[in-house]
Chain A
Amino acid sequence: MSNKNSPNISPQHAEYLRKVKRRKRTILVTQITLLALFFALWEIAARIGVVDPFISSQPSRIIDTISNLYSDGNLFNHIAITCVETILGFVLGTLIGILVAIILWCSEFLEKVMEPYLVVLNSLPKIALGPIFIVWIGAGSLAIVVIAMTISVVVTILEVLNGFLGVDNDKIKLVKTFGANRIQILTKVVLPASLPIMVNALKVSVGLSWVGVVVGEFLVSKAGLGYLIVYGGQVFQLDLVMASVIILSVAAFLMYKMVALIEKLVVKRN
């Protein structure tokens, strides 16, 4: 195999590699510039009075707000609460979803029976169930996690079950010729073959879980970034709203990247 660092690559190939690298760097620089430009324009527009900072806020005030939250000692508390709720939401949603998918795979009868219910649950906006969970469970983190989980669990069931049913029948036939029973078919073929799909379901769940958690925090209004947003809106502190949204974007981005990294590690072989 020719190594990138080996000295005996042809000048043409070195040129090609340089080109690819340069293009990658240009894209990154443009991306950063675009972001910086956006914030700079925002700040300038607010300073010269093109937009009213009371309604639109402005980057310098957002930074002040964040540093105030930090010196109050509340910043990381809110971030941590929201992140933990989200992680619990999508991990539980994915695990329970996979478990249900396994049960439905095991019994075709059950799968057929449950089909219309799953379709209804899938099309129902799960947020509508939020108030019910809060009444049942109480206004707190638990209810928020349950809301987040509910959103991701139905999609996971459908996605993963589809993956299970899509496993090559000949692969199953192969293990059957070795006398495999239903459980062995599941553990030796269906589960490992569906691993990429399960990880992908996890990726989808992350996004959905964020929605569930933020809406849950809107409803429960005790702590977390969602709470800061809804509170800021109510007291007309747009600085707080914008600051929370920005922190939320960064946290969501980082979490997505982390799951993508897990996917890369897990799916590498497949």
Chain B
Amino acid sequence: MNYVVEVCNLGMKYHSLNGEIDALKNINFSVSEGEFISIVGPSGCGKSTLLSLIAGLIVPTSGEVFVEGKPVTETSEKVGYMLQKDHLFEWRTIYQNVILGPEIRRTLTADTKEYALKLLDTYGLLEFKDKYPSQLSGGMRQRAALIRTLVARPEILLLDEAFSALDYQTRLAVTEDIYSIIKKENKTAILVTHDISEGISMADRVIVLTKRPATIKKIHEISLSCEKRTPMCSREAAEFREYFNKIWKELDVYV
């Protein structure tokens, strides 16, 4: 099989003076090319840790992650990471923001610049390229953040609660927007979220994690009977509720 991401027996422990925290234990899954995976789990269960490990930002205590067959030891341009907020730099214009990745990797060629402009053009931000982030709406900022990630030409996108800083309506619209861009650019994506509906609406598969130390509780193949698989339409599908209820029970939330 042709897996883009393989996670093998991954475990992570944090150390502090108060003791040892088991964040992840025995995580195994793989992601095929073009697949969209959602990871849901109780808050504080180590979802973000999992993404940081795949991105190579931190080193696992045990196990390994492979990206395109190669073990992850450091960050690579193959993996793009999107954070909760857009984190566009206020002191840079939109154009300067989206070329940040290649600029840091020192791969900023005429070709890359052209690609950045092309992406800005395709996704309707070209006329804003010399504007500063504060002059853009929340949705546009999120789009600019995605373009900043795409300019580095990653194969895999990691979305870390990427929409949760937005208000609900903007969030629905941005989810729709970002999803269509990811599909159009044919990227593999892993979304971490605590929002079950959001997780189901975008994903081909939903991975449910347990409380800390997080292990995989269940992996759901999502097949919805709707004509067009967009997050909005997915929410309309008959099976949506069933998936939601199943996952809700598995998350075992007590107040």
Contact = CB atoms under 8 A, between A and B. Distances in A.
A151 B81 CA distance: 44
Contacts of A173: 57, 81, 83
Nearest to A188: B104
A252 interface: no
B105 interface: yes
A192 B89 CA distance: 9
Contacts of B57: 173, 176-177
B74 A179 contact: yes
A179 B74 CA distance: 8
B219 interface: no
Given A173-B57, A269-B132, A180 B87 contact: no
A179 to B, nearest CB: 5
A45 interface: no
Nearest to B91: A192
Contacts of A270: 90-91
A170 B84 contact: yes
Contact of B85 (A170, A175, A192, A193): A170
B89 A180 contact: no
B94 to A, nearest CB: 13
Interface size class of B (residues with CB under 8 A): 20 to 34
A177 B48 CA distance: 13
Contacts of A180: 104
A195 B103 CA distance: 21
Contacts of B89: 171, 189, 192-193
Interface in A58-89: none
Contacts of B75: 176-179
A177 B87 contact: no
Nearest to A189: B89
Interface string B71-92: 0001111011101110101110
Contacts of B104: 175, 178-180, 184, 188
A193 B89 CA distance: 8
A173 B160 CA distance: 12
B55 A177 contact: yes
A259 B90 CA distance: 22
Interface of B, helix, strand, loop or mixed by DSSP: loop
Contacts of B60: none
Interface in B61-117: 74-77, 79-81, 83-85, 87, 89-91, 100-101, 103-105
A193 B88 CA distance: 11
B152 interface: yes
Contacts of A195: 91
Task: Among B80, B87, B104, B105, find the residue whose CB has the most chain A CB atoms closer than 10 A.
Answer: B104
Interface in B27-79: 55, 57, 74-77, 79
Contacts of A178: 75, 100-101, 104-105, 152
Interface in A164-191: 168, 170-171, 173-180, 184, 188-189
B17 to A, nearest CB: 15
Contacts of A184: 104
A179 B87 contact: no
A170 B105 contact: no
A168 B84 CA distance: 12
B155 to A, nearest CB: 14
A70 B30 CA distance: 84
Contacts of A177: 55, 57, 75, 79-81
Contacts of B76: 179
B87 A269 contact: no
A173 to B, nearest CB: 7
A232 to B, nearest CB: 48
A176 B83 CA distance: 12
Nearest to A174: B87
A253 B80 CA distance: 51
Given A173-B83, A174-B83, A178-B105, 7 more contacts: A173-B57, A178-B152, A180-B104, A188-B100, A192-B91, A269-B90, A269-B132
Interface of B: 55, 57, 74-77, 79-81, 83-85, 87, 89-91, 100-101, 103-105, 132, 152
25 contacts: A170-B83, A173-B57, A174-B81, A174-B87, A175-B104, A176-B75, A177-B55, A177-B75, A177-B80, A178-B75, A178-B101, A178-B104, A178-B105, A179-B74, A179-B75, A179-B76, A179-B104, A180-B104, A184-B104, A188-B104, A189-B89, A192-B89, A192-B91, A193-B89, A193-B91
Nearest 3 Cβ contacts at the A-B interface: A177-B81, A178-B104, A178-B101
